[in-house]
Amino acid sequence: MILTVTLNAALDITYRVPRLQPHSTNRVTEVSERPGGKGLNVARVLTALGHRAVATGFAGGGTGDALRSLLAQETSVTDALVPVGGATRRTVAVVDESTGDTTQLNEPGPVVTPAEWDAFMSTYRELLSGARAVALCGSLPPGVPVDVYARLTRAARTAGVPVLLDTSGEPLRRGLAARPDLAKPNADELAALTGSTEPLRAARDARRRGAHTVAASLGADGMLVVTADGAWQAAPPRRIAGNPTGAGDSAVAGLLSGLVEDLPWPARLARAVALSAATVRAPAAGEFDRDTYEELLGRVTVTEHPVAA
């Protein structure tokens, strides 16, 4: 199985309005709720690709109960979330149907106590014993030390389980020092980490900071990967219109599934980019349009970069 970790899971609430008008009353035409958080989105896509996925992290309060109930109803993802006393956060997205723009409001998440963290670590180590790979994803809830991804990476490496790290800011910087097998920042996160806005240079810099491989999401321009053996860039054959929310999570699922299937890097990249683009056509994060995915998969362009001197 593939293990995904979402320490700051969320109940995603989406409101759709005909036109968002600040400082006024807005009539909502549609409301949807679904389990959210990067690792949960990754797990959903993995199951759609035919892999068994187990999701762990924290869930608490009435919001956490609602999240777990919805997770049980809508997917085949195995729920291994650890209970906490605080309430799982909500993320509220307001979609302006006249423009397609989305306004996002993200709560901080529950305060995690030392005892709750110890319970999670016990669960995590137990789950690692049956994992073929693990993805560490997203932001951290209050009360969790900023170096936790470094700790989780070291625990996975001790267990012999490959690690993919997908976070940002200081947790990313600390996590890289623990030498994850793969780090997956987007272009902005990579630039913030390294100070370079040139993706290839920045990805090589991030590798020097500890990651064995760096895969950088470049939005509509696809994905760049830098490994010890070379660098490749993949791009979709055309730009796909739609909602990009969750596209990076689908790319993570593509990379993880390619890892456990031992695909060569060009094939992993092609899958990740096709899944990412197909997610833009889907109604929600954690889903992808299968027809778009199958159409794009064989048409993704993969280019090899010269080896750095």
Q: Which residues are catalytic?
A: 249
Give the tokens for residue 183.
């780090």
301 to 201, 222, 233, 256: CA distances (angstroms): 21, 9, 8, 20
Per residue, the 3-state secondary structure of the chain, as one string, reads: CEEEEECCCEEEEEEEECCCCCCCCCCCCEEEEEEECHHHHHHHHHHHCCCCEEEEEEEEHHHHHHHHHHHHHHCCCEEEEEEECCCCEEEEEEEECCCCCEEEEECCCCCCCHHHHHHHHHHHHHHHCCCCEEEEECCCCCCCCCCHHHHHHHHHHHCCCCEEEECCHHHHHHHHCCCCCEECCEHHHHHHHHCCCCHHHHHHHHHHCCCCEEEEECHHHCEEEECCCCEEEEECCCCCCCCCCCHHHHHHHHHHHHHHCCCCHHHHHHHHHHHHHHHHCCCCCCCCCHHHHHHHHCCCEEEEECCCC
Residue 210 identity (one-letter amino acid) = G
Task: Give every CB contact of residue 127 below 8 A, 6+ residues apart in sequence.
Answer: 3, 54, 56, 80
